Copies of this chain bind each other. A is one copy, B any other.
């Protein structure tokens, strides 16, 4: 608990019921974040994204800023609506966070295939009963335990274990479970304690955490949250620039991740009835930039030609050395990166899907803010990455929301009739990635958008003009609780075009390099939360995916998360992964004229050119 100082105000966030102190000079947004209330702010708190709307039910506030006057009507302001990033409490307050402002209920991002492996964690739990020392046998406590662990040839006790060993041995009456990682003692616990590990898929936008039982391989809890670094830029390059240019930027980025991982671990542990101190190992996968920012490694060279990582091999780092407070001697294991931005998350996705690879040509496609694509062909793997932007995660879209209840996830426009479906059939709050893709594709097929992506005036009664720009109304004002419509703007369409063009162009070049026509692809494995929920036909219709028989597409959910769990649970799979890596060739697309040309062409909506002349062959 924080001590209350002069100028601190007590803030209560409803309906979550979280309370805490807000010191003078801290906005409601900063306060919410510090207290673990995940407000959906995207713009870094400068009043631009309107993601941090909330309603103050009780309490005095700072004056309304111009940014807020633009967002809210006087009546809404009168009812206490504010942007949390622009509001400083002047007394104790009670605030209400609307469902669309919270990420806690977000679904999708943690789902992935169940895994079926024999757990073979590098951590072995050994039950021991020690003989208490005596004047006749005045053996030191560590050496007393080493004797019992003789079969495991223990070489090293983590210093933190030594710091508790003598006290615990006596407390536990000389009975304990020793947790050995290779030949190092990393934790001790009372007899019968569960061995737990944490697997993390650290995406640019979303973070998925899985608390696993290391002995049984069972999933104990899972949760997805937003990557808080997003407040310093939605794409990787912006974040790298922040890390390089801001004073302490590198450290702030690492601290954001550290705090978020600890809070994620706490939530998972309390769901599982455990404590973070019982987490014996954490496996973290992310793209190269996330990997470096989490470890506190320099990122400048990643953003400059020849785009090299600081390190590409796998790393075993003490969890405490990256600020994670788990079991006393716990390690964080970072699987290897491939090259460029193709990081351990893609390695994990490959590991998770390797069992589904067939003879012939297989594509593994992990769509996210950064998209990685691998072509597997005759035992060789070629990997590329491209910046597809956050549109498919619901960001950078005027009515975009994450995939929370009430998000429009499916859209169809059949003979002019609009239908949409929201998550959990809740009242619509906005549109999420799969809904945006559907909408653009359906509008294109209905002729509301032309192939250049332009909204056509008069093509549909829902196409309206607002401040001189056209937009397509999905949900008119009257149906919504709040006074804004849900629409697809011209700018939204452009964002989708940019994202799909990056993916399409990267795929085209990858195939061209392998001398393979799109029609020769035998299987496309689509990983990632967004990829699991998209309507393939709609993605094919605009050219994001090649026009192949639908049974060649396999949507596998969060494969990176699944791979992280596999690597957490199995030492043997970590070895297999190293073999896999030797087969991977990385292809750098960054700044090549070939990519720019393919990208420009791919901005057009319409089917993918699957013929042999694709990508300039």
Residues of chain A at the chain B interface (Cβ within 8 Å): 133-135, 138-143, 146, 156-157, 159-160, 162-167, 170, 295-298, 300-301, 305-313, 315-318, 321-322, 337, 339-340, 586, 588
Return the contact of A135 from the options B140, B300, B301, B306 (Cβ within 8 A).
Answer: B306
> Which residue of the partner chain, among B163, B306, B311, B340, contacts A297 with CB atoms under 8 Å?
B163
Q: Evaluate contact between B138 and A310: CB separation under 8 angstroms.
A: no
> How long is the Cα–Cα vector from A301 to B169 in the complex, in angstroms?
11
B140 in contact with A312 (CB, 8 Å): yes
Question: Contact between A141 and B310 (Cβ–Cβ < 8 Å)?
Answer: yes
Is B308 a contact partner of A140 (Cβ separation < 8 A)? yes
Q: Is the CB of A306 within 8 A of B133?
A: yes
Q: Residue among A138, A170, A308, A318 with the most chain B CB within 10 A?
A: A308
Q: Do B305 and A159 have beta carbons less than 8 Å apart? A: no
CB-CB under 8 A for A141 and B308, given A162-B297, A166-B301: yes
Chain B residues, Cβ within 8 Å of A166: 297-298, 300-301, 310
Bound Cα distance from A162 to B318, whole angstroms? 14
* Complexed CA–CA distance, A69 and B318 (Å): 55
Contact of A309 among B141, B160, B298 (CB under 8 A): B141
For A317, what are the chain B residues with a Cβ–Cβ distance below 8 Å? 159
> A306 CA to B138 CA in the complex, in Å?
6
Q: Are B322 and A159 in contact (CB under 8 A)?
A: yes
Contacts of A322 in B (CB 8 A): 159
**Dominant secondary structure of chain A at its interface with chain B:** mixed
**Closest CB in chain B relative to A56 CB, distance in Å:** 34
Once the chains bind, are B135 and A588 in contact (CB under 8 Å)? yes
Chain B residues with CB below 8 A from A339, complex form:
138, 140
How far apart sit A166 and B304, CA to CA, in the bound complex (Å)?
Answer: 12
Q: Which residues of B contact A305 (CB under 8 A)?
A: 135
Q: Within the complex, what minimum Cβ distance (angstroms) separates A151 from chain B?
A: 18
Residue of chain B at shortest CB distance from A145:
B311
In the complex, the answer to whether B167 meets A300 with C-beta atoms within 8 Å is: yes
Determine how many copies of this chain the complex contains.
2
- What residue in chain B is nearest A146 (Cβ atoms)? B313
30 of the cross-chain contacts (CB-CB < 8 Å) are A134-B306, A138-B308, A138-B340, A139-B308, A140-B308, A140-B309, A140-B310, A140-B311, A141-B301, A141-B310, A141-B311, A142-B311, A142-B312, A143-B313, A146-B313, A159-B296, A160-B321, A162-B297, A162-B310, A162-B311, A162-B315, A163-B298, A164-B298, A165-B298, A165-B310, A165-B311, A166-B298, A166-B300, A166-B301, A167-B300
Q: Report A515 CB to chain B, min CB distance, Å.
A: 21
**Nearest chain B CB to A142 CB, angstrom units:** 4
How many whole Å from A152's CB to the nearest CB in chain B? 16
Contacts A300-B167, A306-B133 given; indicate if A315 touches B138 (C-beta within 8 A): no
Please name all residues of chain B whose beta carbon is closer than 8 Å to the beta carbon of A165 when the two chains form the complex. 298, 310-311
The CA-CA distance from A311 to B309 in the complex, in Å, is 41
Set B159, B301, B309: member contacting A315, Cβ < 8 A: B159
Interface centre among A146, A162, A300, A311 (most CB of B within 10 A): A311
Q: Provide the bound-state CA to CA distance between A507 and B305, in Å.
A: 72
User: In the complex, how many angstroms separate the beta carbon of A325 from the nearest chain B beta carbon?
Assistant: 14
Complex alpha-carbon distance, A162 and B298, angstroms: 8
A588 to B298, CA, bound (A): 54
Instruction: Give complex CA distance A170, B167 in Å.
Output: 48
Residue in chain B with minimal CB distance to A312: B140
Contact A140 B295 (CB under 8 A): no
Q: Which residue of B lies closest to A334 (CB)?
A: B159
- Considering the complex, give the chain B residue whose CB is closest to the CB of A340: B138
Choose among A139, A159, A339 the residue with the greatest number of B CB atoms under 10 Å from its CB.
Answer: A159
Residues of B within 8 A of A321 (CB): 159-160
Chain B contacts for A162, CB-based, 8 A: 295, 297, 310-311, 315
A303 to B76, CA, bound (A): 69
Q: Which residues of B contact A170 (CB under 8 A)?
A: 301
- Complex Cα distance, B155 from A316, in Å, reads 11
User: Top 10 A-B pairs ranked by shortest CB distance?
Assistant: A142-B311, A140-B312, A140-B309, A166-B298, A166-B310, A135-B306, A133-B308, A138-B306, A159-B317, A167-B298
What B residues does A297 contact at CB under 8 A? Answer: 162-163, 166
CB distance from A603 to the nearest CB of B (A): 26
Q: Chain B nearest CB: distance from A318 CB in Å?
A: 8
Q: How close is A282's CB to chain B, nearest CB, in angstroms?
A: 14
Q: In whole angstroms, how far apart are the Cα atoms of A322 and B309 in the complex?
A: 31
How many Å lie between the Cα of A298 and that of B133 in the bound state? 16
Which residue on B lies nearest to A167, using beta carbons? B298
Other A-B contacts than A140-B310, A143-B311, 17 sampled, CB-CB below 8 A, are A133-B308, A135-B305, A138-B307, A140-B313, A141-B308, A141-B311, A159-B296, A159-B315, A159-B317, A159-B321, A159-B322, A162-B310, A163-B297, A163-B298, A165-B310, A166-B310, A167-B298
State in angstroms the CA–CA spacing of A171 and B575 once bound together.
35
- A316: B residues at CB distance < 8 A: 156
Q: Once the chains are docked, how many angstroms separate the CA of A588 from the CA of B134? A: 11
The CA of A166 and the CA of B297, in the complex, are separated in Å by 8
